[in-house]
Structure 1
């Protein structure tokens, strides 16, 4: 436990306006407040409704710019609320313009409250120069893996993707594993190299990096990054919820241990109506009970599908909109996770000890897929090529392999359980992530003390 003087340290947390960034940083703020740190989350009014903060974590709101200045629909204050969350959409561009308009009120808050440290989402590269100009040390919070960071850094540095056909695989060298990719699997930032440089320069200007991962999950890649920067791994930082919806729990309680596959593609990713139909048919054909979360309420499933799922032994439960993912994944009846490979979802799957059917849809999810399938070896690959429709037969076979009793399946499940044990251990007192957070807080306290004495 950190010392009793920790209450003197004041830390601001500034998450990017996306659910997958806001919730992990809110939980990071909670971890700091649990150690006696004066912790404050900075966000906008609509995003504050996502938060269920303990009384020990403060909240300050930034006024979101009016629609006349942003060209965004009313109440669209994060990526999940946008009509189209495609990284190339005009709505995303307009959201970033709105974020630019937050600079002034955010600067005013920093000047008014003078925190000892700013922990900023890595996406807000501009906070590096701002914090520096105000004499406030900035730490970045990384919402992706060390593996993803290393892969992206190597591709940016050596550019193996340039000058080759878009369908031809290229190898990412110098990363400890044989990793091959195609251009379509690269995050959109590689279309704009200057943006990548901007993010990297801001990272290097900062006091250090906090990562939502744990050393035992990816030691090689954490060591890669620690060779170039100060880095603390404090995860798995919680993402989801502790709520238990009675209908869902009752349904899960009726199933055998490890028999249910949970299917969810996150809060933002969308797939075509045709793909949804193939998924429905494949899940039904697999014969395994499933919980399937659909982000959009008005998605139309094949005729009679939901009625058939509700009959007899109720093989499938379809949830629309929100689901208590953390509770579902940890339920004893859940034995597998079909996921879009968002980093938060992967961490939740690892923490629950589940093998995964990896089905990336955009951005760094393709890199995360390679980590799950090829590095950790706790998942099966679903998508054969970027942009392909995954037909009913592939969905069925993927579920059967993930949930089956074959040697490959059993070995995946065994490795997943081993990582689950490690994920639990690192967050307990004496564990790697617990100790990393302790060392970080001690260093922050010492740094703040020196600054106040005129030595920083």
Structure 2
């Protein structure tokens, strides 16, 4: 949601119209719709049914995506036709659609776009390296690297051009760990990714200079590729302080503002910030291990612990409660960009989601990576092995390992990691400034969409 909303705002800031479409549960939780529409008069919000019961948890998996392909498609088609009919009546504020920008996971939009004769631009939530790896899955099957022939997860993956010497079996997404090449989960992932080749253009939330080796290969498959990342930083560079005042990135949770007062009281670069994003769930045992590791590290910590991050009501050891009162702060949710930019924060313990990784890079904060699903493994491997701006935590999340990692990241040995991060952070910030690659690509994308409007 967040980067797509940033993209919609950027297009509206340039004078284009954008209609941002969500299913009802998300639409209703996006509390700042009115403020956004006020500041961006050409930004419109619509809600269409996803065909699921109101109380459905909508857990992101292949079953949900299959359901969406069939249940939401007719509602989406009807919305586009309604907008077009209103536009033809000359009494609507919204012009007829000239193109569709879709989340790359929402592949039913390709069928609707082709049926209505509209160009479709695919924005992809995962990092480009993950997308490129998924595009190479048929080749990995063909050359015998998938399915895995044994249980050695350290075997190098050699069939992804541009990522030589980086990937191991353990870095591939979970659906690659099946035993048969025709397994439904693997085939679903392959088919969905191959659908993206029908795009008129590909939009990537990355810095071209960071992912050039993969993008150069992807350019042989897609007619146009626009790298616009980091999108949140590109938006900030375009509209300045107004971005923060609007809470323009559309969080679905209410932020705890008191934590900022607590951060103000902490020494510079002393706090380790901990967040596992919106999708990751932990067992109670994992929560306790992380908690002990943070308390025992001796460093102040700010931990975002969503109310749904673990199930059940469990007893918390007294020493953890005591240690947290002395030097910790636990919140349900925060404005992450604001926290990462705070002078007292010195490191980020993260699940390695792409949004969080880009936000950490812009803020110049080294990371401790604990990947969990999807593209997290490839991101973590890239961050720690190739870019050398983080440390990778093992999957077992042992408290002593967590303690050691925090002390290394926040202690005197961090200088080498920080030096690498400073260089990459500058590269990211330069890319969104005037003359930077993302800034220039945004101008080209806007011109491309304007030309599409003139053709209609």
The normalised TM-score by structure 2 is 0.82
Is the aligned partner of 1:58 residue 2:72? no
Q: What is the CA deviation profile of residues 211-231 of structure 1, one whole-angstrom value per residue up to 9, with x for unaligned ones?
A: 111113222222222232121
Match of 1:232, SS?
strand
Moved more, 28-37 or 361-370: 361-370
Residue 171 of structure 2 contacts residue 381 of structure 2 at CA under 8 Å; is this kept in 1?
A: no
- Counterpart-to-counterpart distance in 2, 1:214 and 1:104: 36
How many Å apart are 1:60 and its aligned residue?
Answer: 1.2
Q: What is the CA deviation profile of residues 257-294 of structure 1, one whole-angstrom value per residue up to 9, with x for unaligned ones?
A: 11111111111111111111111111111111111111
Unmatched tracts of structure 2, length 5 or more? 84-95, 178-182, 237-242, 248-254
- Counterpart-to-counterpart distance in 2, 1:75 and 1:324: 27
Seen in structure 2, the aligned counterparts of structure 1 residues 125 and 63 have a Cα distance that, compared at 3 Å, is closer
Q: 1:438 aligns with which of 435, 443, 449?
A: 443
Match of 2:111 in 1: 129
1:325-404 paired onto structure 2 within 5 Å? 325-383=336-394, 388-404=395-411
Match of 1:17 in 2: none
How many Å apart are 1:176 and its aligned residue?
Answer: 4.0
RMSD: 2.4
Residue 309 of structure 1 contacts residue 317 of structure 1 at CA under 8 Å; is this kept in 2?
A: no
Match of 2:304, SS?
strand
How many Å apart are 1:106 and its aligned residue?
Answer: 0.6
Q: 1:267 aligns with which of 252, 261, 278?
A: 278
Residue 273 of structure 1 contacts residue 299 of structure 1 at CA under 8 Å; is this kept in 2?
A: no
Is the aligned partner of 1:103 residue 2:73? yes
Is the aligned partner of 1:115 residue 2:126? no
Unmatched tracts of structure 1, length 5 or more? 1-21, 68-73
How many Å apart are 1:237 and its aligned residue?
Answer: 1.5
How many Å apart are 1:423 and its aligned residue?
Answer: 2.1
Match of 2:331 in 1: 319
Residue 276 of structure 1 contacts residue 301 of structure 1 at CA under 8 Å; is this kept in 2?
A: no
Is the aligned partner of 1:252 residue 2:245? no
- Counterpart-to-counterpart distance in 2, 1:137 and 1:104: 18
Seen in structure 2, the aligned counterparts of structure 1 residues 166 and 316 have a Cα distance that, compared at 3 Å, is same
- Counterpart-to-counterpart distance in 2, 1:94 and 1:199: 13
Q: 1:236 aligns with which of 230, 241, 250?
A: 230
- Counterpart-to-counterpart distance in 2, 1:189 and 1:58: 39
Q: 1:200 aligns with which of 170, 193, 198?
A: 193
Seen in structure 2, the aligned counterparts of structure 1 residues 143 and 109 have a Cα distance that, compared at 3 Å, is same
How many Å apart are 1:359 and its aligned residue?
Answer: 0.4
Is the aligned partner of 1:170 residue 2:149? no
Seen in structure 2, the aligned counterparts of structure 1 residues 349 and 156 have a Cα distance that, compared at 3 Å, is farther
Ranked by relative contact order (alpha carbons within 8 Å, sequence separation 6 or more), the top structure is 2
- Counterpart-to-counterpart distance in 1, 2:124 and 2:368: 24
How many Å apart are 1:255 and its aligned residue?
Answer: 1.0
Residue 306 of structure 1 contacts residue 318 of structure 1 at CA under 8 Å; is this kept in 2?
A: no
Seen in structure 2, the aligned counterparts of structure 1 residues 365 and 246 have a Cα distance that, compared at 3 Å, is closer
How many Å apart are 1:59 and its aligned residue?
Answer: 0.6
Match of 1:412 in 2: 417
Match of 2:252 in 1: none
Q: 1:144 aligns with which of 98, 114, 126?
A: 126
The normalised TM-score by structure 1 is 0.82
Residue 121 of structure 2 contacts residue 202 of structure 2 at CA under 8 Å; is this kept in 1?
A: yes
